Structure formats: structure tokens, C-alpha cells
Structure 1
Amino acid sequence: MSYVKPAEVLESMIDSGQAKAETSAVQMVTRGFLGGAILAFATTLAYTATQQTGIGLAGALVFPVGFAIIVLLGLELVTGSFALIPLAAMKRRTTFGRMLAAFGWAIAGHLLGCAFYAALYCLVITKMGTDMSNPLIQTIVQASESKTAAYRQMGGEGMALVVLKAVLCNWMVTLGAVMAMTSKSTGGKIAAMWLPILIFFAQGFEHAVVNMFVIPAGMMLGANVGFADWWLWNQLPVLLGNLLGGLVFTGVMLYLSHASKREPEYLTAVSKGVKASEEPV
């Protein structure tokens, strides 16, 4: 049988979080670069499928191919790590400092990988800047503006909305990372992780790494989006929402669901009112 039981999956989550936290900066940036670029490939594939068929769900059906490649090759997607590394820190298998460093290096890699692919892709669809007739150009420009200016125009409600969409997104994305651990076969891993990723993409939720490609690409193609729009009205709140969604709804809740009763160190400490400075990180 290739199925892995939930309690074993939880141990794999903690082991994976520890391994990620201990990865060197060079490796984390490199894995993040590749992960960001591959997810950007998948995003343009999804946009192409939607444009060719006129059916949004067609794009969502093919988008998870990028996530599957990233997971199977052991590359990095910081949004998935938002559920894994904090568990390792909670179990004292790594430190809070290493967790933040891993997140930071992964994000740096994603930004480089997404920007690299965005530059090359924009050259391709504009035929080296000579032809702006490709319908995908307008698709990316509109997506870039809807992910930034549209929220800005709503003000405080827009900020709340983008965070909520990011929370819902990474609830599913981190489930995809975990679902890959429920099988020992390659086919089983792909099928299991495909489902949550399809769910998030089909509903237009906000994913930080996808946006590291879409928004800069839109800016390169002439979108009415500034650097402040990108970071203040999307990238930073989306990173926050992705962190909350992955940490709370996947990491903590699966831990509460399946942790062994014999070693509830963190929960025991909290229940006894241990000071925050004394809690394991």
C-alpha cells in the first residue's frame, strides 16, 4: 500500500520543516529561483489554456503541473514552507531565527526566478518588443492591475480583502504540500497534491509567488501599476495572509488533529500559561 497515515504525515511535515530550515542560503536561493520560475511557467500555461478555450477552469486544471514539478524535485515554495518550518520550530527541531532566514532566502530566490522568467516571457509574447497584439499581453496587464489598483481603490476594505484571499489561498496550497506526503508513489503524490492547488487557482485567490511573476510582468508590459502598488497593496499583505493561512489552518490544525498525546510539549506549555519568552520557538 502506498497510502501514508495522517500521524506519519505529521512526522514527515516536521522532518521536512527541519530540513528546510537547515538548508544553506545558497541552496535555498537556488531552489527558490527554480521554484519561482517553474510556478511562473505554470501560470502562463494556465493563462494560455484559459485564453484558448475561453473557460477559466481549463487554466485551473493545468496550473498544478508546476506545483507537482516543484514538489517532486525537492525545490522550494515558501508558501508551502509556511506550514512546515513553524511546526519544526514549535517542536524545537529548529530555531525561530533559522525559520525566518529560510523564509527570507526563499523569497529572494522567488523574486529572482519570477523576474527572470517574466523578462524572457515578455520578450517572447511581444516578439522582442515589436508586436503588442498577443491577447495574453492584455490578460497579464489586467491581472496585474486587478491585483493592485483594484484593492487600492477600495481602501481599508481592499486591504482586508486581499489578506483574506491570501489566507484562503495558502490554506489550499499548504494542503497540497501535505497531500503529497500521503502517498509513497509518484503517481499518488501527483494526484493528491493536484486537488487543493486546482481549488485555489480556480477561485482567484492570492498567492504570493504567483504574484511575484504576474505583477512585475504586467508592469513590464505597460500596466498602470507602481512599485508601491505592488508591495503595499499586494505582495506584503499577501505574504502575511499566506503565512496565516498555512500556519494556522494547515500546520497548527493538523498538528492538533494528529499529534501524539504522549508529547504535547507546546500545547502543555501554553495551557499552563508559560510566558511567551519561555515558549519553544
Structure 2
Amino acid sequence: MNSPKEVANHCLEIGKNKASLPAGRMFLLAVLAGMFIALGAVGANTVSCLMENGSAAKIAAGVIFPAGLAMVVIAGGELFTGNCLILLSVLGKRTSAEKMLRNWIIVYLGNFVGAIFVAWGVYAGGQTQLFQGALLELTIQTAVTKCGHTFGEALLLGVFCNFLVCIAVWMGFAGKTAVDKIVGLFFPIFLFVASGYEHSVANMYYIPAGIFSAGEAGQSMGLTWSGFLFSNLLPVTIGNILGGALLVAGIYYLVYIKGESQT
């Protein structure tokens, strides 16, 4: 297992390489990552939709959802929330802020495309009709709940979420085998799902899927694209950046990188 300091130095090079990817390759890897996270969300909802006990449903969703990040890490993908760690490479002078922002923008858009594609596919394929419409009901209710937060609530829930996601990625980097990496990332992701925190890329699936499903059910439930973008996605994205870039990359830079000689 790699030590935290070894992980920090590893992250310096990973961030540099991620920021230097050609735009086309970066976008395609981001589309895949958006699909991976969305499919993790599909599985989490599918498994938990018949559970009447809320705690049991959260536990079930928390067990299934980490499969999305496991696919990103093991199969390869560019995930906006995890890429908030590129700030470590900027602070460590391995890449530039401009390259980091380029990565964030391209990856964010690619994640959106991948997640929306899965949301549409689940709707168009009739998957939400499973279990006599129980999955349809949960899909709509999940979106309604997520769009019901105030701006400040969504932002703070986003901070805690990506703090845990970036810690999960960090712990994954500590492993040297596929099993090590999956075990390392599992528990922080379980915590964020079970705690109800807000993940911008997951919400690129959850809320559009709810909008599509509400239309299918003939009831809007107050779900709108503008509400999705400005009441949820915007504050959650800001919170994700603060939680991942500042609280993880920033703090670990101060602890392990600042003042150390760089080769």
C-alpha cells in the first residue's frame, strides 16, 4: 500500500497527465465516466425501490452506487468531481490553472452527455416500469427531493459529498491492485450515499431521469430543467469544487507537498 505522502506525489503526476490530455480523448473518457456514475445510480435506485424501510434502502443504495466510481478508476474515465484533485498539481507547479480549468470544463460537459444519455435510455427503454412502477415513483421522488434544497443547503451537501469522493479517489490511489483500489474507494462513497450528500455528476442522471419519468407519468411534480440547472446543479457543483479542490487537494498540498523539493 502507498503511504499518504506517496499518494500525494503520485497525484502530482496524475493531475499533470490529466490536464495534458488531448481534448477529444478527454471528452470521450468523460462521457464514459458520466455513464459509469449514472449506471451506478440506476443500480442503486433499482435495488432500493422496493424497500419500505428508509435506512435499509439507503444501505442498499450505498452498497451498489460505488460500482460507478470503481468503473471510472479501474476501466478508465475522466470524472469532474475526482478531477478537482488536479488543483494539487497546480499548486505543486506541475501544470497550470488554465489547463486545469480546460480539463474541468471539457470533463464536466462530457460527464453531462454521458449521464443524460443513460437517463434518456432508462426512460426510453421502459426500465422505470419495473416492479409495477415502483422504480418510476422512486426516480421521480429522488429528483423532487434533490430540487427541494435551498441554494445554501445544496452547496453544503455538495461540499461534504466531494470531500468524501476525493478521499475515496485518494484511498484508491493508495492501493496497488484492483482489489485494493475498489476496497479503498468503497467506504467513503458508501458514506456519501448513505448520508444523502449531493454529487453533481450523479445528479446529471438522477434529476433528468426524474424529469423524463414525471413526463411519462403525466405529472410535472414541479420538476423543470431550469430548476435542475440553477437550483441544484449550480450550487452542488460549486460545493463539489470547494469540498474536493480546497478541502482535499489544498490541505494535502500544505501537508505533503509545500516546501518539499520537487524533482
TM superposition score normalised by structure 2: 0.91
The percentage of counterpart residues that share the same residue type is 28
Aligned to 2:193: 201
Q: CA deviation at 1:24?
A: 1.2
Q: CA deviation at 1:65?
A: 1.1
TM superposition score normalised by structure 1: 0.85
Aligned to 1:102: 103
Q: 2:14 aligns with which of 10, 13, 16?
A: 16
Paired residue type of 2:39: F
Report the Cα distance in structure 2 between the residues aligned to 1:19 and 1:108, rounded to whole angstroms: 19
Task: Report if aligned partners of 1:118, 1:213 keep a CA contact under 8 Å in 2.
Answer: yes
Aligned to 2:255: 257
Paired residue type of 1:193: L
Q: CA deviation at 1:133?
A: 4.2
Kindly indicate whether residue 182 of structure 2 is the aligned counterpart of residue 182 of structure 1: no
Task: Report if aligned partners of 1:4, 1:181 keep a CA contact under 8 Å in 2.
Answer: yes
Task: Report if aligned partners of 1:5, 1:182 keep a CA contact under 8 Å in 2.
Answer: yes
Q: CA deviation at 1:53?
A: 4.1
Q: CA deviation at 1:131?
A: 9.1
Measured against aligned partners, the alpha-carbon deviations of 1:15-64 in whole angstroms (never above 9, x if no partner) come to 11111100111111111111111111110111112124442211101110
Task: Report if aligned partners of 1:126, 1:132 keep a CA contact under 8 Å in 2.
Answer: no
Aligned to 1:86: 87
Task: Report if aligned partners of 1:125, 1:137 keep a CA contact under 8 Å in 2.
Answer: no
Aligned to 1:76: 78
Q: 1:40 aligns with which of 2, 14, 38?
A: 38
How many pairs were matched up? Answer: 252
Structure 1 stretch 33-42 or stretch 251-260: which is displaced more? Answer: 251-260
Paired residue type of 1:169: C
The 5 Å alignment of 1:158-177 reads 158-177=150-169
Report the Cα distance in structure 1 between the residues aligned to 2:162 and 2:130, rounded to whole angstroms: 36
Q: Secondary structure, in 3 states, of the residue corresponding to 1:198?
A: helix
Paired residue type of 2:142: A
Aligned to 2:64: 62
Report the Cα distance in structure 2 between the residues aligned to 1:212 and 1:183, rounded to whole angstroms: 29
Report the Cα distance in structure 2 between the residues aligned to 1:80 and 1:250, rounded to whole angstroms: 10
Kindly indicate whether residue 110 of structure 2 is the aligned counterpart of residue 118 of structure 1: no
Kindly indicate whether residue 236 of structure 2 is the aligned counterpart of residue 238 of structure 1: yes
Paired residue type of 1:226: T
Give the gaps of 5 or more residues in structure 2: 215-219
Report the Cα distance in structure 1 between the residues aligned to 2:114 and 2:97, rounded to whole angstroms: 26
Q: 1:50 aligns with which of 40, 48, 51?
A: 48
Aligned to 1:275: none
Task: Report if aligned partners of 2:26, 2:106 keep a CA contact under 8 Å in 1.
Answer: yes
Task: Report if aligned partners of 1:50, 1:58 keep a CA contact under 8 Å in 2.
Answer: yes
Q: Secondary structure, in 3 states, of the residue corresponding to 2:77?
A: coil
Measured against aligned partners, the alpha-carbon deviations of 1:239-277 in whole angstroms (never above 9, x if no partner) come to 10000000122111122222264349xxxxxxxxxxxxx
Paired residue type of 1:77: L
Task: Report if aligned partners of 2:92, 2:253 keep a CA contact under 8 Å in 1.
Answer: no
The alpha-carbon distance between structure 1 residues 262 and 33, as it changes in their structure 2 partners (threshold 3 A), is closer
Report the Cα distance in structure 2 between the residues aligned to 1:94 and 1:244, rounded to whole angstroms: 20
Q: Secondary structure, in 3 states, of the residue corresponding to 1:77?
A: coil
Give the gaps of 5 or more residues in structure 1: 152-157, 265-281
Aligned to 1:267: none
Report the Cα distance in structure 1 between the residues aligned to 2:260 and 2:143, rounded to whole angstroms: 49
Paired residue type of 2:181: K
Measured against aligned partners, the alpha-carbon deviations of 1:118-170 in whole angstroms (never above 9, x if no partner) come to 1111123368xx9994211111111111111x12xxxxxx1111100000000
Report the Cα distance in structure 1 between the residues aligned to 2:254 and 2:98, rounded to whole angstroms: 24
Task: Report if aligned partners of 1:13, 1:87 keep a CA contact under 8 Å in 2.
Answer: yes
Paired residue type of 1:178: W
Paired residue type of 1:40: A
* Aligned-CA RMSD value: 1.8
Larger CA Rg, structure 1 vs 2: 1
Report the Cα distance in structure 2 between the residues aligned to 1:142 and 1:162, rounded to whole angstroms: 17
